Each structure stands twice: as structure tokens, then as C-alpha cells.
Structure 1
Amino acid sequence: MKILHTSDWHIGRTFHGQSTLDHLRQVFGAMVEIVKQNDVDVVVVSGDIFDSSMPSAENFTVLSTVLRDIKAAGASVVMTSGNHDSATRLGFQSEWAGLAGIHVITGFDQYLRPIIIEDEYGPVNFYGIPYLEPSLIRHHYPSHELKTHEQVLTFAMDGIRADIARSDARSVVLSHCFVSDVAASSEATDVERDITAGGLNLVPAAAFDGPDYVALGHIHGRTTITERVRYSGAPLHYSFGEAAKPRGGWLVTLDAGGLDEVTWIDFPVPRRLSVLTDDLEALLSDATYASAESDWVCAILTDRVRPVDAMRRLQRRFPFCAMLEHRPSVVVESSATTYGERVKQKTDREIVAGFLEHVRNGVGPSEFETDIVNDVFAEQRVKEASE
């Protein structure tokens, strides 16, 4: 059996205010071709199908289209709900969809009823664990302590392992969670939400001992925990923090004895992400940056003074410039003395000049600005003398 492991589709998510639906349609089209070319039997999606618990009608249409196309290409689908999804909305009419080979698992205890798909070697049991928030399910099991994700996932996997022990079938588990072998603080990007301080959301890899393969979701980058426990990552880049992470899925092959081979298959990247660091004039004129003109661009400006109207000027060359940061190449060292101590022996003009130098990262007043300051103080002296 060949399984394409994907996750975190996040249908409906925007990228810095721009819709990603057209790009996602391109990737889904490529995914369908991968299913055809590799004779994939099952596509699994480990949570976060939608980006919102209230997806729009257009988002549902995108999902319906890709599911129909995957089925027409010859593969079944097994998917679970993630923390972004509404389990109720995603699971609506899942019973009828399952009759067509589209299996949507959203119920908190549905993992105990595996989806059984057969190949020439016999049955394969797919156990889908939806995102299980401890505070929302612990009341179903009052005799068990279920305060953390580790406790909840261990409890769920204990039930799955018991079912595996009763069956000769090979097994695949889907789960949407943070595994402790992945450093959540460094691996998670700004779109991977719900990271709890203190590690309450982390689950040790050992909790998933038993199945032939574990298809994880929640982390947006490709990650191998063990040979049989992996993250596939998201199909699109949803943050500049993901720029260096490849997009694709794992092609998992099961033989008669269980896991045989796992290989990576790249998905197309409809628009690259580029992080450009230089002063504004160089970004606007240097030929070195010509290759990024059609990319999503994060521009990091190194000018000593923040340029005026920088985003508008950048977007003339880089129409898809989506993010702007100012990191001056020269930064004035901070002082431990108080402001009052620093200006105590200074004249009014020196105080103004020092203020301008401070807020503009070491750049003091120009000759024109000095003349304005002198004029203002002169007018003030005249006013004070006439009172």
C-alpha cells in the first residue's frame, strides 16, 4: 500500500493579507498528479484542514474539489480535524462521505474505530486522532487524569495499542500535536498556534510506540522524529519563518510486514519567499535582487534612518513585498545614565540635537534643521523678553 502523508492544509489562510487560495489550488492539482503517477492508495491529512473554525463557502468548494479529484485519481482519503478546525463543521455528513472513500475523523473517541482499507496483503487499520484539547474531553473520562496533551495522547494511544494487539492488521496513526523531540519554541512559526508555556502541549515520541507509521501534523516544516514517526509540514509557505522549509509530503510504502520505505516528494512552490537585507536604495536599484521581483518579499532595511514611504517605493519593484523591518546597520550604544543626568550640563540646542540623534540612530540635525531650531529659540527669547 502507498500512502501520501500530508497535513496542515489551512484552506482559507491569508499571507500578510493576500489570499492563498489560487496557490493552494495549484498545489492540490500537483498533489492529484502525484497520486496518479505514484499509484497512491490513500492520502492522509493530519489536521488543520481549514484555517478557521468558520470557513467560507469558497473554502468548502476548494476542499470538495480536491477530495473529488483525489478520489477520481484512484486514492481514498483519511483526514482528521486540527486545532484550527471546527470538528462539528468538518465532520458534517462524514458518515456519508465515508461510503465514498473520504473518511473524516472528528469525534473525540472515533480513533477507537479504525478505518480499514485493504491491499493485496490484507487490511491496514487507520487510526485518526483528532486534536484533543484536554479541557474539552476530560469530563468524558472522570476516572483518568487528563490535564496535559501528553496524558491525553498517551491515553488515546493505549486504546489504539490494545486494538492493534487484537488484530493482525498493519496500522497507521494520524495525530495533530507537538512531539517533544521537536523543539516547539524554535520549530514552530507564527502560524502554528496554541503553544503553551511550560511544555503542557508537548508529547513524547514514545507515546506513539506501536503502529507501523505515525503521520503527524501541527508543525509546518518537514521533520523526521524516527523512521516511522514524521511530520510532513504544510503544502504552502504561510510565514516568512518557513521560507527555508521545503514543501511536500511523505510517500509511505507498506509491505506485508509493515513499514517498507518512506520517500519525500516535493510540491511546487507557486511563489517563492525571499528575505532581502540591504539599504533601501540598494534594494531599489541593485541588479542582484532582480530575481526576487516576483517573490513574496520581506525587506529588512539597514538604513541608519528609517526611510520615508519605504513600502510604497519597494512595491514598485517588488509588487509582492509583504513585510518591512528596519534594522539599522549602525546602532547607538545605550547608556545606563538617566536622561536627566545626560542633559544636566547641556544647552537647549544641544538637548534638541541629542534627541534627534537618539531617535534617528546616531544621525543628528542637518544644517537646515539647526537653522529651524535656532529660529525657534530666538522667537522664544523675544517672547519671554516682552512679557
Structure 2
Amino acid sequence: MRLLHTSDWHLGRAFHRVNMLGAQAAFIGHLVTTVREREVDAVVVSGDVYDRAVPPLAAVELFDDALHRLADLGVPTVMISGNHDSARRLGVGAGLIGRAGIHLRTDPAAAGTPVVLEDAFGEVALYGLPYLEPALVKDEFAVEKAGHESVLAAAMDRVRADLAARPRGTRSVVLAHAFVTGGEPSDSERDITVGGVASVPAGVFDGVDYTALGHLHGCQTLTERVRYSGSPLPYSFSESEHRKTMWLVDLDADGGIGAERIDCPVPRPLARVRGPLAQLLTDPALARHEDAWVEATLT
């Protein structure tokens, strides 16, 4: 089964007060084209679809357009809510939208209930774990201490229990929105620290074939089976060295993983320069940054 893993669209977000909606629309177009041309079997979107709980109307319209275009392709899509999303708002109409093949997973209580897809080798169970705010889901998962690791571990226990009850050979994919130990943050993620601890170990996700992570904005491989797609666009100058991509993941008959990075459109490159003003204005070596967004530190 071929999956396209993306996350952190942050629809409605600006870059230093520059409207990014046009660039976000170009990314959606690129996503749809990739799904069609690379014969993708399912799309997974690992949270932070919107940039804020109550997004601007233009962002909602772009999301609506994305849903329709993906549904028209007949390719199933699984989405979870992230820490920037309002889970309840994003999940409105999820039952009806699911009939069109767009599966919104925003309810923590449904963490152990997968979207089950099928290919020539059998079933693939996709489990959507929305962002789990520890204080809000502590009772749902019956954990003594409200922490990121404890609630995610409890959610994964439900995943493994459901998977164990399925036919032997069922492959598994988990979507999660979290700060996993070993990941490299940037300046544009919202802090999710609880009690001084924000990260969870990658071992929390042991037992599944692929974990599609969201939250950190840089594309990263923590293990062969645990990866961040990163955001499709930069949202801070700390991302100036990022290569913005999606993961094209091939899941074979035995759950083996093959992964390829698919580049996203670059609306304008970022550059960070440092030096005296006169040098920055006259240095011919900086001419390559004339079309970039520039962060200049004057010494």
C-alpha cells in the first residue's frame, strides 16, 4: 500500500504578516497532483490542519476545496487534529464526510478504532490519535498522572489491543501529533510542555508498522518506522535550512517500509544574513538572496 504522509498545513497562517494562502493553495494543488501521478492509495494528514482553533473563512474554504478534490480522486484520506486545531470544530460532520472517504479522527476515545483499508496483500489498519492534551484526556485514558507520555502510552495500548484481535498479518499505521524524543524543533511550533516535559520516547509507538507524526516542522526520520513529514511551508526563519517535503511510503506485504521524500513547492526561499549594513548591501556573494525573504542581523 502506498501512503502519502503530510502534516502541519497551518491553513490561515501568515509569515511575518505576509498572507500565505496563495502558497498554501499551491501546495494543495501539488498534493492532489502527487496523489494522482504517483498512484497513492491513501493520504494521511497528521494534525494542525488549521493554524488556530477558529480559522479565517478563506482557510476554511481552502480546506473544503482540498476535501472535495481528494474525494473526487477516490483516494481515502485520514486526518487527525493537532494542538492548533479545535478538535470539535474540525470533526463536525465526520460521520457524513467519512462516507466520501475522508476520515476525520478528532475524538481521543476512538483512538483504538481504525480506518481499515485493503490492498492485494490484505488489510491495513490506520489508527488516528489526535493531539492528546494530558489534562483533558487524563480521565478518558485512566492515567494517574497527566503527562504526554502516559496518555500516549495508554492510547497506544488501545491500538495494540485492537490490532491483536485482528487477523494475523494485518498491517498497521498510526497517525499521531506529538513531540517525540530525538526530533529537532523550530521556532514556529507552539510549546506543549506539561510539567516541564514536552517529549515522549519513540518506543511508545513500538508494535506498529509505520508511525506518521505531526507537530515538528522539519522533515525527520527518528527510526525507519517513525517519521515526521514536517510542514509543507516554512513559518519561521529558523526553517531556512529545511527542505520542505512529504513522505511517500510504500508498505509491503510483510509490513516492510520504503520511503521517498516528495518536494513541496517553494513560494520564496528564506535567507539569514549577518554583518555590517554596508557589507550586506554591497557584497556580491549575497546577490543570490535578492528574491528571498531575508532576516538580516546588523552587527
Q: TM-score range by the shorter chain?
A: over 0.9
Question: Does the CA-based 8 Å contact 1:40-1:74 persist in structure 2?
Answer: no
Residue 240 (structure 1) aligned with residue 252 (structure 2): no
- The aligned counterpart of 1:147 is 146
* Code of the aligned partner of 1:209: D
Matched, 1:39 2:36: no
Is 1:81 matched up with 2:74?
Answer: no
Other structure's SS at 1:113 match: coil
Q: Is the 8 A contact 2:74 2:101 kept in 1?
A: no
Tell me if 1:173 matches 2:170: no
Deviation at 1:193, TM superposition (A): 1.1
Q: How does 1:166-315 map to 2 (within 5 A)?
A: 166-168=165-167, 169-182=170-183, 187-196=184-193, 199-302=196-299
> Measured at CA, do residues 222 and 141 of structure 1 come closer, stay the same or move farther in structure 2, by a change above 3 Å?
closer
Q: Which amino acid aligns with 1:255?
A: D
Structure 1 unpaired stretches of 5+? 303-387
Contact kept in structure 1, 2:248 and 2:261, CA below 8 Å: yes
Deviation of the 1:232 alpha carbon: 0.7
Q: Report the Cα distance in structure 1 between the residues aligned to 2:131 and 2:96, rounded to whole angstroms.
A: 22
* Counterpart code for 1:106: T
Name the SS for the 2:125 alignment partner. Answer: strand
Root-mean-square deviation over aligned CA pairs? 1.5
TM-score (norm 1): 0.74
Q: Deviations over 1:253-307 (max 9, x none)?
A: 11221133111111121110011222212322333322222211101112xxxxx
In structure 2, the partner of 1:62 is: 62
Residue range with higher mean Cα deviation, 170-179 or 194-203? 194-203
Give the % identical residues: 48
1:353 corresponding residue in structure 2? none
What is the alpha-carbon distance in structure 2 between the residues aligned to residue 199 and residue 50 of structure 1?
26
- Given that 1:188 and 1:220 are in contact with CA atoms closer than 8 Å, whether structure 2 keeps it comes out as yes
1:164 maps to a residue whose letter is L
Say whether 1:158 aligns with 2:166.
no
| 1:147 maps to amino acid | A
Q: Distance in 1 between matches of 2:17 and 2:277?
A: 23
Match of 2:25 in 1: 25
SS at the partner of 2:138? helix
CA contact (8 A) 2:141 2:155 kept: no
Distance in 2, matches of 1:290 and 1:181, equals 36
Whether the 8 Å contact between 2:212 and 2:227 is mirrored in structure 1 is: yes
Q: CA deviation at 1:120?
A: 1.6
Deviates more, 1:198-207 or 1:127-136: 198-207
* Equivalent residue number for residue 314 of structure 1: none
Return 1-10 or 288-297, whichever deviates more.
288-297
1:112 counterpart = 2:112 = yes
Deviations 1:52-104 (A, max 9, x none): 00011111111111222233334221000000000111001111110000111
Note the 1:9-24 alignment, pairs <5 A. 9-24=9-24
Counterpart secondary structure, 1:253: strand
* Structure 2: distance between partners of 1:13 and 1:84: 11
Q: Aligned-pair distance for 1:159? A: 0.8
Q: Is the 8 A contact 2:2 2:251 kept in 1?
A: yes
Secondary structure at 1:139 match in 2: coil
**Is the 1:47–1:79 Cα contact (8 Å) retained in structure 2?**
yes
Q: Deviations over 1:126-153 (max 9, x none)?
A: 10000111111123345x3241110000
Work out whether residues 125 and 172 of structure 2, in 8 Å CA contact, stay in contact via their aligned partners in 1. yes
Deviations 1:149-178 (A, max 9, x none): 100000000110011111132110000001
- Please say if residues 273 and 297 of structure 1, whose CA atoms lie closer than 8 Å, have aligned partners that are also in contact: yes
Q: Which amino acid aligns with 2:172?
A: S
CA distance in 2, matches of 1:131, 1:260: 25
The one-character-per-residue Cα deviations of 1:211-237 (angstroms, maximum 9, x if unpaired) are 110001111101111100111100001
Report the 3-state secondary structure (helix = DSSP H, G, I; strand = E; otherwise coil) of the residue aligned with 1:127. strand
1-structure distance, mates of 2:5, 2:226: 11
The one of the two structures with greater contact order (alpha-carbon pairs below 8 A, sep at least 6) is 2
Select between 18-27 and 256-265 the one with higher mean Cα deviation: 256-265
Output the TM-score relative to the length of structure 2.
0.95
Partner of 1:355: none
In 2, Cα distance between the equivalents of 1:5 and 1:259? 16
CA contact (8 A) 2:224 2:257 kept: no
